[in-house]
Amino acid sequence: MTQTPTLEEIRKAPKVLLHDHLDGGLRPETIIELARERGHRLPSTDPDNLAEWFRESADSGSLERYLDTFTHTVAVMQTREALTRVAAECAEDLADDGIVYAEVRYAPELHTDGGLTLDEVVEAVLEGFRIGSTGPDGRQRIRVGTLLTAMRHQARSMEIAELAVRYRDAGVVGFDIAGAEAGYPPTRHLDAFEYLKRENAHFTIHAGEGFGLPSIWQAIQWCGADRLGHGVRIIDDITVADDGTVTLGRLAAYVRDKRIPLEMCPTSNVQTGAAKSIAEHPIGLLRRLCFRVTVNTDNRLMSGTSLSLEFAKLVEAFGYGWDDLQWFTVNAMKSAFIPFDERLALINGVIKPGFAQLKWRM
Ligand X SMILES: O=c1[nH]cnc2c1ncn2[C@H]1C[C@H](O)[C@@H](CO)O1
Q: Point out the residues that are catalytic.
A: 209
Q: Which does 310 bind (CB under 5 to 8 A by kind): Zn ion, ligand X, none?
A: none
Q: By rule CB under 6 A, what string of x and - marks binding of each residue 132-151 to ligand X?
A: -----------------x--
Q: Which does 89 bind (CB under 5 to 8 A by kind): ligand X, Zn ion, none?
A: none
Q: Which of these ranges, 105-113, 237-245, 318-326, 344-352, lies near ligand X under the rule CB under 6 A?
A: 105-113
Binder to ligand X among 5, 28, 98, 179 (CB under 6 A)?
A: 179
What span, in angstroms and rounded, lies between the C-alpha atoms of 153 and 185? Answer: 9
Binder to Zn ion among 298, 310, 315, 332 (CB under 5 A)?
A: 298
| Contact indicator for 231, 21 with CB cutoff of 8 Å | no
Q: Least separation, in Å, of the C-beta of 356 and Zn ion?
A: 32
Q: Does 296 bind ligand X (CB under 6 A)?
A: no
Binder to ligand X among 11, 15, 105, 233 (CB under 6 A)?
A: 105
Q: Least separation, in Å, of the C-beta of 26 and ligand X?
A: 11
Q: CB atoms < 10 A from the CB of 259, how many? A: 12
Q: Which of these ranges, 9-17, 46-54, 185-193, 291-299, lies near Zn ion under the rule CB under 5 A?
A: 291-299
Rounded (5°) CA angle 265-287-20: 20
Q: Does 294 bind ligand X (CB under 6 A)?
A: no
Three-class secondary structure of residue 242 per DSSP: coil
Residues 53-112 that bind Zn ion (CB under 5 A): none
Closer residue to ligand X, CB minimum distance, 13 or 67: 67
Q: Which does 267 bind (CB under 5 to 8 A by kind): ligand X, Zn ion, none?
A: none
Q: Does 23 bind Zn ion (CB under 5 A)?
A: no
Q: Least separation, in Å, of the C-beta of 243 and ligand X?
A: 35
Q: Does 172 bind ligand X (CB under 6 A)?
A: no
Q: Does 310 bind ligand X (CB under 6 A)?
A: no
DSSP alpha helices (H): ranges in the chain? Answer: 7-12, 28-38, 47-58, 63-68, 70-75, 80-96, 118-133, 157-166, 190-198, 213-217, 250-257, 266-272, 283-288, 300-303, 307-318, 322-335, 340-346, 352-361
Q: Residue 213's closest CA among 191, 228, 224, 202? A: 228
Residue nearest to Zn ion (CB): 298
Q: Which does 297 bind (CB under 5 to 8 A by kind): Zn ion, ligand X, none?
A: none
Q: What are phi and psi of 86, to 5 degrees?
A: -60, -40
Q: Which amino acid is at 7?
A: L
Sheet strand arrangement including 262-264: 204-207, 227-230, 262-264, 293-295
Give the chain's end-to-end CA distance (angstroms, integer): 5
40 is an annotated ligand-binding site residue: no
CB contact set of 50 (below 8 Å; sequence gap of 6+):
28, 31, 32, 42, 43, 44
Q: Residue 69's closest CA among 56, 82, 80? A: 56
| Contact indicator for 145, 174 with CB cutoff of 8 Å | yes
19 is an annotated ligand-binding site residue: yes
Q: How far is CA 237 from CA 26, 77, 219, 234, 279, in A?
A: 36, 39, 15, 6, 20
What span, in angstroms and rounded, lies between the C-alpha atoms of 213 and 63? Answer: 16
Closer residue to Zn ion, CB minimum distance, 295 or 347: 295
Q: Does 206 bind ligand X (CB under 6 A)?
A: yes
Q: Which of these ranges, 120-128, 295-303, 315-323, 336-344, lies near Zn ion under the rule CB under 5 A?
A: 295-303
Q: Which residues are annotated as a binding site for substrate?
A: 21, 23, 179
Q: Which residues are annotated as a binding site for Zn(2+)?
A: 19, 21, 206, 298
- Site residues for ligand X per CB under 6 A: 21, 23-24, 63, 67, 70, 74, 105-107, 110, 149, 178-179, 206, 209, 268, 298-299
